[in-house]
Amino acid sequence: MKEKESLFSPRNLKSLTGPLSAGNPVIVLVLGICPTLAVTSQMKPAIVMALSVMAVLSIGNVIISLLRNTIPPRIRIIVQLTVVAALVILVDQVLKAYVFEVSQKLSVFVGLIITNCIIMGRLEAFAMANKPWASFLDGIGNSLGFGFILIILSFFRELLGAGTVYGYPVFEKIGLYSTGYVDNGLMSKAPMALILVGILIWIHRSFNKDLIESK
Amino acid sequence: MKTYSNLYIFIYSAVLVIIIATLLSFTAFKLKPRQEKNIEIKKERDILSSFGVVSTAKNAEELFEKHVIKMLVINSKGDILEGDAFTINHKKELEKPADERQLPLFECQLDGQKIFIVPVWGIGMWGPIWGYIALEDDFNTIYGVSFASEAETPGLGAEIDTKSFQAPFKGKKIFDESRKFVSVSIIKGGAPPGDIHGVDAISGGTITSLALQKTIFDCLDSYVTYFKNHDK
């Protein structure tokens, strides 16, 4: 009989920590770029987006993993999509009921979690073939990796684009505007997020040389 | 790989969909009152903030009841109609011909002063923009404004919801000296000092600024008869 795997075995830990750096969904796998561009102009919506994705992805992974031996392969994508869509609607409803102001800021992007490639990717690639606990950790790990990038991007975009951090007017308080400094409006626009993602990938790869493809 | 019969697939998908549909309708049903309450509170807070009353989600209802003393429904001829001003769907009313519209008007009291609040609604650059204009009891001087948008660009057009954009509206006049309705102009590059009808536009948010100017004009225009009949 196979020995029972411990809850935090090296393999399970790897599902949790891998997506933070070497297997990062945004800057290595380049998935989930749409929400990365759309919700990172300010920190608050970025954080709520990260938490919403975490809820959807970890619970979705567990559900699909529990069902994995019963799902007919021919309709597996439909089943995954249905589960994700249901979870996203739940998250949207809960946000509207309990954190109304944030839900207004996120507006359509909550609904668009359904189309986040990270989620379908993890369900199909991981949860369909692994046990619930490992899938749960994989979900948490990937959403942390996603959320981590969202928070870095939104920090710089909000600071340089609007002079605030989490809504707190940093530049105004330190008197930067009186020296003639002007906020960079381009930072608030989606193309700048893409450029920043590129810079992040550059920095990340310069520390992780093995990710650089050989010619 | 295990194979599944068509019957299995049909039953599997049917059961899955029924379970999920039940779950979702149950949640939607349970959370609906709370969500509607939030929307109502948001509206009350927007109205309060147009005349400078700062509220939180908790005390909004109490403050609203204290300050808003009368809610009127009027038409463009200045007659008072029956109806509930708070629940009027502004967007639907604006789709009707001008003389059939039901227009909400909120009469408020702050420190013994009477203030009248007119809701405005229009189309911005990416989506709807709306707000409330608070007028003093001469129906000419702006006491305060609050604006919000659904999808304007953050940091640019969406800045219409900031204090720094809204504050200069205070004290501006919507009628000129010959009692002609001129509304407020939102001027790109900045309003000249002393301009009693103009405020600064948002740099980088020109389209939203112009849309807001049009929205304010169009919405206030329907109230002009009532204003002229009731000013002192």
Give the amino acid at B93: E
pLDDT digits (tens, 9 = 90+) for B24-39: 999 999 999 998 998 8
> Which of B108, B98, B127 shows the shortest CA–CA distance to B68?
B108
Residue B72 lies in a domain: yes
Mean pLDDT, all residues of chain A: 86
Residue B2 lies in a domain: no
Residue B59 lies in a domain: no
pLDDT digits (tens, 9 = 90+) for B107-146: 888 888 888 999 999 898 888 999 999 998 888 899 999 9
Residue B158 lies in a domain: yes
What sections of chain B are H helices per DSSP?
A: 6-50, 60-67, 90-95, 163-166, 206-221, 224-230
Residue B57 lies in a domain: no
- Cβ neighbors of A167 (< 8 A, separation 6 or more) are A42, A43, A44
Sign of the four-CA dihedral A108, A114, A44, A153 = negative
pLDDT score of A182 more than 50: yes
Residue in chain B lying closest to A104 (CA) = B150
Predicted pLDDT at B31: 92
Residue B164 lies in a domain: yes
Predicted pLDDT at A1: 45
Domain spans of chain A, in order of start: 31-208
Task: Say what the ipTM of the complex is.
Answer: 0.75
Asked if A74 lies within 8 A of B9 by C-beta distance, the reply is yes
Residue B23 lies in a domain: no
Q: Which residue has the higher pLDDT, B83 or A25?
A: A25
Mean pLDDT, all residues of chain B: 86
Report the predicted TM-score, pTM, of the whole model to 2 decimal places: 0.74
Predicted pLDDT at B160: 87
∠ CA B13-A86-A152, nearest 5°, is 135
Q: Which residue has the higher pLDDT, B1 or B30?
A: B30
**Which residues are B4's β-sheet partners?**
none
Q: What is the interface size between A and B, counted as CB pairs within 8 Å?
A: 70
Predicted pLDDT at A4: 63
In chain B, residues with a C-beta closer than 8 Å to the C-beta of A74 are 4, 9
How many structural domains compose chain B?
1
Query: Residues of A138-169 as b/e, b for ≥16 C-beta within 10 angstroms?
Result: bbbbbbbbbbbbbebbbbbbbbbbbbbeeeee
Residue B124 lies in a domain: yes
What is the arithmetic mean of pLDDT over B195-200?
86
Distance CA B167, CA B182 (A): 20
Residue with tokens 């003639």: A180
In chain A, residues with a C-beta closer than 8 Å to the C-beta of B154 are 41-42, 162, 188
Range of the domain at B78: 68-230
